[in-house]
Structure 1
Amino acid sequence: MPDLADVCEWMDRELRIREIPDYSGAVNGLQLENDRPVLRVAAAVDASLPVMEEAVRQDVDLLVVHHGLFWQGARPLVGGNYRKWKTAIEGGLAVYSAHLPLDVHGEWGNNILLAQAIGLQVTGSFLEWKGLPIGLLGEMESHREDLRKRLETAVAGPVHVCPGGPEDLGLVGLCTGGAGSQIAEAAERGVRTLITGEGPHWSFPLAEELGVNVFYAGHYATETFGVRRLVAELGRKFSLETQFLDHPSGL
């Protein structure tokens, strides 16, 4: 029966948690500990109240998420936030979060796994944030409609397309989550097709002006890959029972 500290130390090291910069609300690493051994681990995209309640119902010992308990910043422990923390603590649920360290991981990251799922041949990186490249560049022998179909298969859902760029795609940029707001930076790097999860409304008309295709495949849907793979690796490493708690936002 592995100890929580050992499991978290392994994830910290493999994901380079202490080395990779992130947004202040990420608070990567162990966010809530417990006092029992780790037998059952679950993955989820968000540490939301329904997810926490389901994890406790499933008798999960450790919940591994992409967006953790502090994503909205410091908030009073009242209402739903209080119920979330109360559920986790009384249920003996530990919570571990990995945001950008999981997005950019070379084997288990959201970006590389989505790239592999759609057949993107990665040739480089782009979209630097605090010196960290958070997106991938690549090439595909494909066209716009074929890419839409590949993405819809990969994310198991609809993909919204801005057909602002060439039919034959050109240089492809991929950054899961909410990179639509970085369309101008992508275009400056020569990207003619951007794959991401979501973007603000203005990213669509701007993409048309800049001559860039944008594939909005869903913030949630594009970020299920990393946590699922990470927990699968945990299961193999420590002989743990694992599962994925799917609670899509539709965004």
Structure 2
Amino acid sequence: MKRSDFTQMLSELLKPDAIRDFAPNGLQVEGAEQVQKIITGVTASQALIDAAIALQADTILVHHGYFWKGESQVITGMKKRRIASLLKNDINLYGYHLPLDIHPELGNNAQLAKLLDVELLGGLEDGSNSVPVYGRLNSPMPAEKFAEKIATALNRKPLDNIVRNKPIETIAWCTGGGQGYIDLAASKGIDAYLTGEASEQTIHSSNEQAIDFFAAGHHATERYGVKALGEYLEQQYGLDVTFIDIDNPV
């Protein structure tokens, strides 16, 4: 597939212009004109780039790409080495951040719901592009059992703060660094909140607003959107796609 066609197809699928973000979405570093072998992963780290080079890939597609707002604009050190590796090997880099979080079928939030057997009911915020979402457990269970379910599904024991002595029925979640949405979830009477990370104040919010809290890892909660996107590209377009999980304990 021509790079221009691949770019257009992803844009139509993920609709990056529909949401304001912290980094450019789409083609971030231009490489080969033909897209034939794609590597997908969570973050465009040097380890993922090296793996793509070893597999002779021409394209890398990630959730966490480059050029974030607020970062230094100079291309030195780690950033220089990463970009030099891409350019030297003629590898395209595509990054989709919030558009891949919120996609209703392939997104991180939707994929996490499937993994944890949660019915996604809608956005927690007003509007059609809410980043946090809410839903209902298909099988309500005690919070301790839900923590075990998370650990099994994500292969990672979550940090939890269990404050309710009742089964969880409703839950809100936002993959990655979405701990700040716990107050919004609590204000709507949700039983529990799940995200990737925790801040010091998050536990106080959980305690004082009587909402169970789970932090299951930024990386661990965001493996599944880009993986699902790659599988979609393989099934729908016959592209050669390989997902590589560069583990990260955060």
TM-score category of the 2 structures, normalised to the smaller one: over 0.9
Alignment of 1:230-241 (within 5 A): 230-241=229-240
Percent identity, aligned pairs only, is 28
Whether 1:121 aligns to 2:95 is: no
Aligned-pair Cα RMSD in Å: 1.7
Give the Cα–Cα distance (whole angstroms) in 1 for the partners of residues 99 and 135 of structure 2: 21
2:84 paired residue number: 86
How far is 1:75 from its partner? 3.1
Partner SS state of residue 200, structure 2: coil
Whether 1:175 aligns to 2:169 is: no
How far is 1:166 from its partner? 4.0
Give the Cα–Cα distance (whole angstroms) in 2 for the partners of residues 185 and 33 of structure 1: 39
Of 48, 51, 55, the residue aligned with 2:52 is 55
Asked whether the 8 Å contact 2:100–2:108 carries over to 1, the reply is yes
Q: Scaled by the length of structure 2, what TM-score is found?
A: 0.93
Asked whether the 8 Å contact 1:164–1:209 carries over to 2, the reply is no
Q: Which runs of 5+ in 2 are unaligned?
A: none
Partner SS state of residue 157, structure 1: coil
1:228 paired residue number: 227
Q: Scaled by the length of structure 1, what TM-score is found?
A: 0.92
**Which one-letter code corresponds to 2:134 in the other structure?**
L
Give the Cα–Cα distance (whole angstroms) in 1 for the partners of residues 142 and 195 of structure 2: 17
Partner SS state of residue 141, structure 2: coil
2:132 paired residue number: 135
How far is 1:45 from its partner? 0.8
Whether 1:34 aligns to 2:4 is: no
Residues 201-227 of structure 1 deviation map (CA, whole Å, 9 limit, x = unaligned): 221122111111111110011001110
**Which one-letter code corresponds to 1:100 in the other structure?**
L
Count of aligned positions: 247
Residues 138-181 of structure 1 deviation map (CA, whole Å, 9 limit, x = unaligned): 11222212211221122122211111234312421011111112
| Farther-moved stretch of structure 1 (200-209 vs 79-88) | 200-209
Give the Cα–Cα distance (whole angstroms) in 1 for the partners of residues 218 and 233 of structure 2: 24
Partner SS state of residue 18, structure 1: helix
How far is 1:131 from its partner? 7.0
Partner SS state of residue 241, structure 2: strand
1:190 paired residue number: 189
